[in-house]
Structure 1
Amino acid sequence: MVDVTATPGSPPRSPAAGAADSVRSGRPAARWGRQALLGPGLVLAAASVGAGDMVTSLAGAAGYGMALMWAIVIGVVLKYALTEAVGRLYMATGQTVIRSMREAARWLPGAFIAFVLVIGLLYGAALGSVASLALTTLFPALPLRPVAVVIALVSAAIVYVGRYALFERVMSFFMLAKFLGMAVLAVATLARADDLPGLLGTLRPRLPEGDVLTVLALIGGVGGTAGIASYSYWVREKGWADRSRLRVMRADSALSYTVTFLFVLCTTVVGTGLLYGTGGSITGGEGLAALADPLGADLGSVARVLFLGTFFLVTLSALVGGFNGLSHLLADALRTLRGVPDAEAERHIAQHSRPFRLFVLYCAVTAVVVTFLGRPVPLVLTYAAVGSLILPLLSGALLVLLNRRGVDPAYRNGITSNVLLGGSFVLFGLLAVVQLKDSLGGA
């Protein structure tokens, strides 16, 4: 087997690579070595499954029960195709996703650094406030804004001080905890349902008339945006760089979206049992917090506490993962614009590098400032519009980059990948147009 470290221009091996090699060869590994074959996918799932997923799935359940699960399946498949392609691109070229994008269009790295700077400006304040809402609903004596600031600073500190191995363990714990919390609530909902056959009967697929936007929101709302672009950095930190890891990477990204789908399925079950047929609905973090009381009335006070705790962990994990992913993207976009070669990438984009930590501080400081400014409406609209552009740009770039003749056939797009990436480009492009139209209309 050829060692990728011997190939000119290949990425430096991270410390995690040794653990992966130990597992593969049967040598003794570190304490966490048994989990070394997987990891970035759980990080992605923890970072991508946020309050937005809960809101969209609960809102869909309120109007249609579980009849729109087919839309969620489509969203999961498309996001998996994007994530797998991002990981495959890194393995094919030894270059990060931002560096590779420069070959598709020289302006793309500049666009990405502008996009991610805008997203980082509001990300910490937005998610910190939602996490604080969950915590202050559970403990009403706590002040909302100061708690939001503390949550954002603690999240930034987790990313700043830890190496990738610690970050991965923390994110895996978050994913396991919030998945178990929602699974328990779903089982309790089914067990206490007055009309269980009727609830399960809502699984019959249907296409809502005159409500295409709800379907599009469900498809686009499953999983993350910036987190998908960040997946190659977590694969890089893990040390997966040659063809022998390709199958493992695919299994890892498939695990990510399997867990994501199951989480959204559980949320949909809870929403169907609580909201379907009542005429009620849910919007935003405030709606999630307000749902705790009727849930407690139906399932008991323990369920109320469990829901709010899960809601808090969902937002906290998205905040920690987002800070990490955004800092990787910003540091790499800056490196690419400065023309720093791949041989020097380690000290520019690794989690312990100075540029990475500088951008973590940027996210933390802007979170504090914007939280106390109250997130002015123009900034929020800009944030939403910019975020919607990432996936169509990423889909288009992957179609170009992974169909080049210079790409090893083992890594090149096949028919299925091209169909799914093409579908992603069209669908997420349409969603971006809708979001831009709404943002300009609200400006």
Structure 2
Amino acid sequence: MRRPLGPGLLLAATSVGGSHLLLGPELGARFGLDLLWIVVLAHLLKYPAFEAGPLYAAATGESLLDGYLKVPGPRGWPLWIGLIDMVVESVGVLAAVIGLTASFLHGAFRFGGLPCWGAGVALAALALVWTGGYRRLAKVNLGIMAALVIGTLLAFATALPEPGAVARGLVPGAIPAGGVVLVASVLGWMPTGVGVSIWHSLWMQRSLEDRDVVRDGGTVRWARIDTARGYGLSLVLAIVFVCLGSVVLRPAGIVLEAEVDVALALASLYEQARPWMGSVFLVVAFSAMFSTCYAAMDGFPRTLVATFDLLRGAPRCRQPQSRKIYRLYLVCATLGGMAVLAAIPDPVRLIRVLGAVTLLVTPIYAALNHYCVVRLVPGELPGPGRAWRVLSLCGIAFLAFSAVSLAWIVLVGGA
């Protein structure tokens, strides 16, 4: 039976947000293609951690949050770590995605300040999430994302890098001076934070429940294929954005900083194909980022409620107080994000710092996901083989080493 497209495309859509639109071109603008290998390595070593979410959901009918509750040790300790990380990170993430979304409006209309546009974006997204209206935009979002992907590939076709430069960029080398924080951001937020694997497991769980799918070997294989499709698209787009930054922005001396109009700089990538594509890009990119805004606004409180329900042993989403907690956290996180954006009206800086901070907790999520798949997936189902386990362990080790190295550099003042 033909399987429909699943949550794998949601993962790709989430990835195209800050990590691809900003970090990819910035990496290319600053260092050319010299660090292209970092992008590929980040995708490769984090793949098992991302695949764990839908794989575990398809095999067990549970989300990764349920699996975390079964990890040995004090009851629910991974959930408490996740809660702390989410509460701290959610405000910054919302500030960053709201700020980037607002920058496209600011670039298009050229009046008003970024915090003012950000407030409008935040309140509009908040209203959609509060009323549940964003669910009706799912098909529209898919079309918008398709337009962004097609436009990006067209721009790439008119600004192809030299094959030799691409080949050299895929060979690992030394990290240039001044590139530590940016590289850490790429490792932490490309394709996106590993914590999104929890959202992915919830998406897969809901997708299977809505279609009343029987959990069997075919379902697990479909979940893995669906994830591979979305993840592969994310990798291709990441490489394309780095190449565009290298070919278009770097020769012009444009670096994505606070004093640079980020929206217009990114639009210039698309004007290489056709002059009118810059204006179209602003509209499409705003729409894509706006969908990222309300997806994040929904994802954080939904995960919070699910975690609380698990910790107190309550039936999921059946307690009256769950909806109250959802809405309370939704409002608090949104207002917090608006406050951070007002204090730091620089989405580039926010995303760069958030990506580096995310790297510090990435090995924890990767290790927990590894445990859930290796120890909790029923043996009769087609789980990952030895190659997957080796790649997963290598990823955990590399990410842990990178996180410790970043912490050390920051502590000694070398970043």
TM-score (norm 2): 0.81
Residues 1:270 and 2:233 are matched in the alignment? no
State the match for 1:194 in structure 2: none
Task: Report the number of matched residues.
Answer: 396
Deviation at 1:176, TM superposition (A): 1.5
Identify the residue that residue 144 of structure 1 maps to in structure 2: 114
CA distance in 2, matches of 1:201, 1:44: 31
1:392 aligns to what? Answer: 363
CA distance in 2, matches of 1:329, 1:175: 24
SS, match of residue 347 in structure 1:
coil
Q: State how far apart, in whole Å, the 2-side matches of 1:305 and 1:232 are.
A: 36
1:102 paired with 2:72, answer: no
Equivalent residue, structure 1, for 2:102 = 132
**Displacement after TM superposition at 1:232 (Å):** 0.6
Structure 2: how far apart are the matches of 1:373 and 1:258? Answer: 37
The residue type paired with residue 75 of structure 1 is A
User: What per-residue deviation string (whole Å, max 9, x for no partner) do you get for residues 24-51 of structure 1?
Assistant: 5x9xxxxxxxxx7223111121122222
Structure 1 residues 61, 373: closer, same or farther in 2, change over 3 A?
A: closer
**Is the counterpart of residue 187 in structure 1 residue 157 in structure 2?**
yes
Q: Are positions 1:371 and 2:357 aligned together?
A: no
Distance 2:259 2:313 in 1: 41
Cα pair distance change 1:125/1:72, threshold 3 Å = closer
Residue 16 of structure 1 corresponds to: none
Worse-matched range after superposition: 259-268 or 56-65? 56-65
Structure 1 residues 380 and 132, CA gap change in structure 2 (3 angstroms): closer
Check the 8 A contact 2:221/2:382 in 1, yes or no.
Answer: no
**Which whole-Å deviations, capped at 9, do the CAs of 1:336-374 have from their partners, x for residues lacking one?**
22222xxx224369xx95544443333323233433444
Judging changes above 3 Å, is the alpha-carbon distance between structure 1 residues 153 and 429 closer, same or farther for their aligned structure 2 residues?
Answer: farther
Any gaps of 5 or more consecutive residues in structure 2? none
Letter in 2 for 1:90: A
Q: Does 1:257 align with 2:226?
A: no
Q: 1:153 corresponds to which residue?
A: 123
- Of the candidates 192, 216, 239, which is equivalent to residue 208 of structure 2? 239
Structure 2 residue 265 is matched with structure 1 residue 291: yes
Q: Which residue of 2 aligns with 1:30?
A: none
Conserved in 2, the CA contact under 8 Å of 1:402 and 1:411? no
1:117 to 62, 81, 87: 87
Structure 2 residue corresponding to 1:203, chosen from 155, 159, 166 = 166
1:399-418 aligned at under 5 Å gives the runs: 399-404=370-375, 407-410=378-381, 412-418=383-389
Partners of 1:233 and 1:302 in 2: CA distance: 40
Which stretch has the larger CA shift, 246-255 or 212-221? 212-221
Cα deviation, residue 318, structure 1: 2.9
**Matches of 2:70 and 2:90, distance apart in 1:** 25
1:293-442 matched pairs, under 5 angstroms: 295=269, 301-340=275-314, 344-347=315-318, 355-374=325-344, 387-404=358-375, 407-410=378-381, 412-437=383-408, 441=413
Between 1:315-324 and 1:207-216, the stretch displaced more is: 207-216
Amino acid in the other structure paired with 1:207: P
Alpha-carbon distance between aligned partners in 2 of 1:416 and 1:422, rounded to the nearest angstrom: 10
Native 8 Å contact 1:99 1:332 kept in 2: no
Q: Do the aligned residues in 2 keep the contact of 1:67 with 1:204 (CA within 8 Å)?
A: no
CA deviation after TM superposition for structure 1 residue 251, in Å: 1.8
Distance across 1 between alignment mates of 2:254 and 2:340: 32
Other-structure match for 1:31: none
Counterparts of 1:129 and 1:398 in 2: how far apart (Å)?
31
**Contact persistence 1:65–1:203 (CA under 8 A):** no
Structure 2 distance, partners of 1:346, 1:390, is: 28
Q: 1:164 to 1:128 in 2, by over 3 A?
A: closer
Distance 1:285 1:430 in 2: 34
Q: In the TM superposition, what is the alpha-carbon distance from 1:186 to its structure 2 partner?
A: 1.6
SS class of match (2:276): helix
Residue 224 (structure 1) aligns with:
192
User: CA-to-partner distance for each residue in 1:34-82, whole Å, 9 max, x for gaps?
Assistant: xx72231111211222223233322332355445444433322333322
Q: Which residue of 2 aligns with 1:32?
A: none
Moved more, 292-301 or 235-244: 292-301
The 3 A distance-change label for structure 1 pair 401 and 55 is same
Structure 1 unmatched runs, 5+: 1-23, 27-35, 191-197
Letter in 2 for 1:93: T
Taking the aligned partners of 2:267 and 2:207, their CA distance within structure 1 comes to 42
**In structure 2, what is the Cα distance between the partners aligned to 1:263 and 1:367?**
27
8 A contact 1:233–1:328 mirrored in 2: no
Cα deviations by residue, 1:359-398 (Å, 9 ceiling, x for unpaired): 333332323343344489xx99996665334421111112
Aligned sequence identity (%): 21
Higher relative contact order (CA 8 A, sep 6+): 2
Number of the residue aligned with 1:5: none
Separation of aligned partners in 1, 2:352 and 2:189: 17
Counterpart contact for 1:185–1:307, Cα < 8 Å: no
Return the alpha-carbon distance in structure 1 between the equivalents of residues 143 and 231 of structure 2. Answer: 17
Note the C-alpha offset of 1:280. Answer: 5.1
Compared with structure 1, are the counterparts of its residues 219 and 364 closer, same or farther at alpha carbon in structure 2 (3 Å cutoff)? closer
Find the aligned partners of 1:120 and 1:292 in 2 and give their Cα distance: 25
1 CA distance for matches of 2:401 and 2:5?
Answer: 33
In structure 1, give the amino acid aligned to 2:263: A
The Cα of 1:437 is off from its aligned counterpart by: 4.3
Indicate if the aligned counterparts of 1:101 and 1:108 stay in contact, CA closer than 8 A.
yes
Report the AA paired with residue 54 of structure 1: L
Q: Which amino acid aligns with 1:308?
A: L
Segment drifting more, 412-421 vs 57-66: 57-66
Q: CA deviation at 1:151?
A: 1.0
